[in-house]
Amino acid sequence: MQISTQDHAGCRVVTVDDARIDAAVAIAFKDRMRELTDAGPIHIVLDLSAVDFIDSSGLGAIVAAMKQLGGGRKLALAGLSDNVEKVFRLTRMDTVFAIHSSADAAVQAHAA
């Protein structure tokens, strides 16, 4: 699973470079997120702009990634494609995560 990170003032952007977060990679994604967010800034921004498909396993893995940050840190999402946004809306997970139009917008929001 291709995931990269970049630190900015106040937040770490985690970018998924794969087109799918599905059942085939959900566990790998969750484990990789744990490594990449174990330490570091309080705010994590998950940039999903390269992702065009997630299924319920992928959604569960994103929820798990948020939960493993613990209570004091936050996971925000950025760059949701229409199909990905639809899954968040249907499951009402769009009410749980802060969602930004792009990683840049999320970085600006956290820098303010």
Of positions 55, 73, 102, 104, contacts other proteins by CB under 8 A: 55
Residue 61 and residue 87 in contact, taking contact as beta carbons nearer than 8 Å: no
Q: Is 42 in the site for other proteins (CB under 8 A)?
A: no
C-alpha span between 28 and 107 (Å, rounded): 26
Q: Which is nearer to other proteins, 8 or 20 (CB)?
A: 20
The verdict on 98 binding other proteins (CB under 8 A) reads no
Q: Does 22 bind other proteins (CB under 8 A)?
A: yes
Lookup result for tokens 């799918």: 20
Question: What are the angstrom distances between the C-alpha of 96 and each of 3, 4, 24, 75, 99?
Answer: 23, 24, 25, 10, 9
Name which of residues 72 to 91 contact other proteins (CB under 8 A): 82-83, 86-87, 90-91
CB 39: neighbour CB atoms within 10 A?
A: 7
2 forms part of the interface with other proteins (CB under 8 A) = no
Out of 2, 24, 42, 111, which residue is the one contacting other proteins (CB under 8 A)?
Answer: 24
For residue 79, give the nearest of 53, 105, 110 by alpha carbon. 105
Interacting residue ranges for other proteins, rule: CB under 8 A: 20, 22-24, 53, 55-57, 59-61, 63-64, 66-67, 70-71, 82-83, 86-87, 90-93, 95-96
